[in-house]
Structure 1
Amino acid sequence: MTSQGNMSGSLVDRLGGGVVAFARLCIIVPFVYLVVYVGGAFLIPKSLGPTWVWIQRGVVSTAILCLLALFIQHPRPERRPSGLTHTMAISFLLTLPAIVTSYWAGVFGALVPPLLVIGSAVWERVRHA
């Protein structure tokens, strides 16, 4: 029999472990919640509509802020854990959950981590050239 801890650990391991798993969850969770958001939109009363929209926006904002915090912790490409650069570079995908709720701050915010990753890579190449 497997314990709950082992199941959780294997999920984290499958996602790359440590900060890489955390970064990947920051991208996955808004998409999973997007399905819940769209499905629940038909079930909730109209009076809860604005709250429902802001919950999705909060999920997207939290994901973006967590990715920015990870970039601040690991700004140099050569010192990032394996897989973190790729995960942060594809975080532009968070624009879709932001667009669904017309959350334009989230759309532009989702572009910041990939631009920071690209900028840091260019900076390192120029610095070492």
Structure 2
Amino acid sequence: MNCPKCKSSMERVKIAGVEIDRCTACKGLWFDEFELEALKVVKGTEAVDSGDAEAGKTFNKVDRISCSKCNAPMIRMVDNEQPHIWYETCDVCGGCFLDAGEFKDLKQNDLMDIIKDYQAKRKGGRRTKTTRLSGEAVRNILKLK
């Protein structure tokens, strides 16, 4: 099997009794159907994500890829809990590809992730518009109460 991003060969890696595929070059991770969900909740499995997260960010820009298993076009997804994490899934076979650093990031949700999520929302144009009120307007609103 070859990496859907850089086309290098993938190696089988066993972690917590589950075999996944890791790219020998870019270190991206391939999960067959249900493997990501299974490993996401097991403590210590983030160790399998041994690649450079900065290199992973570069490969994350490559978004038009085909599934390594069935050659179907993969769909870019955004993690609901951490919208700064984008990964690719296959609707046909259920496989999933995460760039180097994304699985490790997916497993932890800390203050930096909250900041990254805020920035991702701002870049996505989902920021709410704020209106500045004059002092007189605020006083008038308070009089209504």
Normalising by structure 2, we get a TM-score of 0.28
Higher strand content, 1 or 2: 2
Higher helix residue share: 1
Say which one has the larger Rg.
Answer: 2
TM-score normalised to the size of structure 1? 0.30
